[in-house]
A and B are shown apart, each in its own frame.
Chain A
Amino acid sequence: AQSVAQPEDQVNVAEGNPLTVKCTYSVSGNPYLFWYVQYPNRGLQFLLKYITGDNLVKGSYGFEAEFNKSQTSFHLKKPSALVSDSALYFCAVRAAYSGGYQKVTFGTGTKLQVIP
């Protein structure tokens, strides 16, 4: 069965330090991978996606993510955290098209707290 694991419920990082939010996945065949961010009392906003090509994907607000096929991971990173990055982050996966509808599965979310 298709699944996404975000092993940390919460990540704390000091402002200015690099941050990493972890995501591993399980899917049949090649994956399409996504990161979304949710600010308090808001809906989810798209950050970035991996479809194919370069394993390092750059997205909005200075975020990037690295696709690692052998480790089935898609960790979200940022070189220097801002207090305004504090939010809930969701990783999502679906199988690349192979006929029929491919469901998108979301992780349980990781709360990022950036400490001033």
Chain B
Amino acid sequence: ELKVEQNPLFLSMQEGKNYTIYCNYSTTSDRLYWYRQDPGKSLESLFVLLSNGAVKQEGRLMASLDTKARLSTLHITAAVHDLSATYFCAVVIMDSNYQLIWGAGTKLIIKP
């Protein structure tokens, strides 16, 4: 069964700290997406990782993909309150019209 597991599922941290969210998946895939969701809102695309070793950065967020380890990380540097949200990773199912399987999400709360 194809599974996408995120951890932690909940993270409360102080502003200024660094932390990493992990996304593990159970089958071969060559692309992975990270999305952000604010409470009561829709999903916003953050990163598209298209190959092994891909690394993308936007502001205080950096995402990477290791397809051999079936692992992606979302690293937060010097967290600020505005980054409080739920973060989802989603993995493409190969040979499936690029359908996505989603992780359960990581709810991130950053305290001032």
Same complex for A and B? Answer no
Binding site for B on A (CB under 8 A): none
